[in-house]
Amino acid sequence: MALKKFTVSDFNVKSDSLPEEQRVFMNNVLGLMCDVVNKAMEGAMTPEDVETKFKGIGDMLKTYDSEVFKQLVKDNQELVSQVKTLGESIEKMQQKGLSMDAINKFDEKLNEMFESEKFKDFCSGHTRKSGEFTGFSLKDTVSMTDNYSGDLLITQQQNRVVTQVAQQKKVHMRDVLKTLQGDPAFPQLSFTQVYDFDRNASYTTENGKLPESSIKAKEESASTKRLGTHIRVSKRMLKSRVYIRSFILNMLPEAIWMAEDWNILFGDGNGENLLGIANQKGVSSVESIIKDEIIKGDAGSVKNVSGYNSNKDTVVEFTNPQSLMLDGMSITFSGATTNTALNASHSLIKINDRKILLKGIAFTSTEEGLSSMTFTVNNSAYKSVELPNSEDVIKTAFAVMAFAQYYPNAIVLNPITVNSIESEKDTTGRNLGIITTRGGIKYVAGRPIIEYTGIPAGKYLLGDFNMASALVDYSSLTLEWAEDVETKLCNEVVLIAQEEVIFPVYMPWAFAYGDLTALKEAITKE
């Protein structure tokens, strides 16, 4: 029997004997309780939210002093306990992200399959034909992601990450990536990968020519990859609907998504493996960005040096766009002749991708050494923090990666790492409270944490999960049956679960994968 949403009648509270006004009031209260229960079953409310809502309903009932309503208050408390018991019965389903609607759909499809003559003949041995369950797709019933196209605001995607975590289910990487539906006619996906750009905006006169900006991109491609598993099950076992439902809803899809998670993060791209984020060319660690020279400009890289603010400051213009330069980075020039104050390290202020301002560096006269001037740029976070804790480390990581139009909106950490950070204490033994929890969601440095056991303890992955990549479902996660001579002799059937996906990464450098200990060492002031 398919699971259904709760209605007022399911609470079995007798209100017929109440006066009209009280009966209407009580039915309204029961309606509120139904709404709470159904939302809880759908994963739209945390247990804490349920407790709060029921307390509010109980307070409403307590406004009435009659003995009848006192009994209803008592019944209400009992109902809270009953609801919790009911919730526990499908808790595992919720943890997989299954809403009541999804469970209803799945149960309906499962019943159709069992009752079909095709499957009855198969299980009875009257036919040896194998194939896909007609009209049956796990994608329709157990999907945990939204299919959509077009760009979303960063805040929207971050909220989506938050929503996935708040539902208190096991979060998979497809839950925090933009997911799209593939075209079955095109198993090879061509996409554009941005590798350079020039944001060259400045003020001009009414009739003056606006400066030109540009973008550089290259064509990349990713092919469809098939992922799946199978299991041999006795036909006698197939007759147990409870077993089949439990197995399919909890084990087979989870096996697929666990393997998918690993490939999204660490696939090497060889054979049928995806090319994972950590192995994409352009993905680096934050600690290497901090320690190493971000940019090196050879002779001829400086186009012009001019005065600004009555020559109290100096503007440097470059021959080529410098999109990786950020405010606060340290730039070191050499080769200047007239403006010799340039031959040192200075904190830069970015005007656009071609110009920077050196505040407090006086412009003296026309620079004569332009053709021989060189420069290097380092991140200012290097050795910048006194005795950093984990929050300082992660805040630095987010700050360093917030460049261009890409914004890191979540961080992936192993649960052991999360526990270690949560347990950090000051010198007096007081917990630092680095990780905060709001509405059941864990945050660090203002971003939600994705707890994932597939990433090694002590490592981190952060990036712009909205803009920088996508997961394309070429074919839905489906279930099939098959039988050969061996399984026939053993009275067994093979159940096959599989999917086909494409994983394009549009901006690999919008991600960072590294080690928290190494990052801490890089920012620690000596």
Model pLDDT for residues 367-383, shown as the tens digit of each residue? 988 999 999 988 777 78
Identify the pLDDT of residue 223.
Answer: 79
Q: For residue range 128-140, list pLDDT tens digits in order.
A: 555 555 444 444 4
- C-alpha torsion sign, points 516, 330, 466, 187: negative
Cα–Cα distance measured from residue 149 to residue 215, given in angstroms and rounded to the nearest whole number:
22
Amino acid identity at 281: K
Tokens of 443: 């945050």
Contact in structure between 60 and 53 (CB atoms under 8 Å):
no
Tokens of 324: 């990786």
> What is the band of 456 on the pLDDT scale with cuts at 50, 70, 90?
very high
Rounded to 5°, angle at Cα 93 from 493 and 53 = 165
Q: For residue range 400-440, list pLDDT tens digits in order.
A: 887 655 788 889 999 999 999 999 998 888 999 999 987 67
- How many CB atoms within 10 Å of residue 309? 13
Tokens of 225: 């990859």
DSSP 11: G
Cα–Cα distance measured from residue 165 to residue 450, given in angstroms and rounded to the nearest whole number:
7
Q: For residue range 462-477, list pLDDT tens digits in order.
A: 988 878 888 888 877 7
> What is the band of 147 on the pLDDT scale with cuts at 50, 70, 90?
very low
Contact in structure between 434 and 389 (CB atoms under 8 Å):
yes
Rounded to 5°, angle at Cα 261 from 397 and 289 = 20
Identify the pLDDT of residue 159.
Answer: 45
Identify the CA nearest to 292 among candidates 244, 242, 329: 329
- Neighbouring-strand partners of residue 501: 225, 473
Tokens of 217: 């991109």
Tokens of 33: 């309780």
pLDDT beyond 50 at 142: no
> What is the band of 271 on the pLDDT scale with cuts at 50, 70, 90?
confident
Counting every residue, how long is the chain? 526
Q: Give domain limits for the chain.
A: 8-89, 295-378
Cα–Cα distance measured from residue 524 to residue 251, given in angstroms and rounded to the nearest whole number:
45
SS3 322: coil
- How many CB atoms within 10 Å of residue 262? 17
Tokens of 223: 């092919």
Comparing 164 with 116, which gets the higher pLDDT?
116
| Domain 295-378 = CATH 2.40.30.180 | yes
Residue-wise over 115-131: b if at least 16 C-beta within 10 A, else e?
A: eeeebeebbeeeeeeee
Tokens of 148: 């959509």
Q: Which H helix or E strand runs over 451?
A: strand 447-451
Identify the CA nearest to 477 among candidates 265, 256, 275, 181: 256
Comparing 128 with 62, which gets the higher pLDDT?
62
Amino acid identity at 465: F
SS3 462: strand
Max CA distance (Å), the chain: 99
pLDDT beyond 60 at 99: no
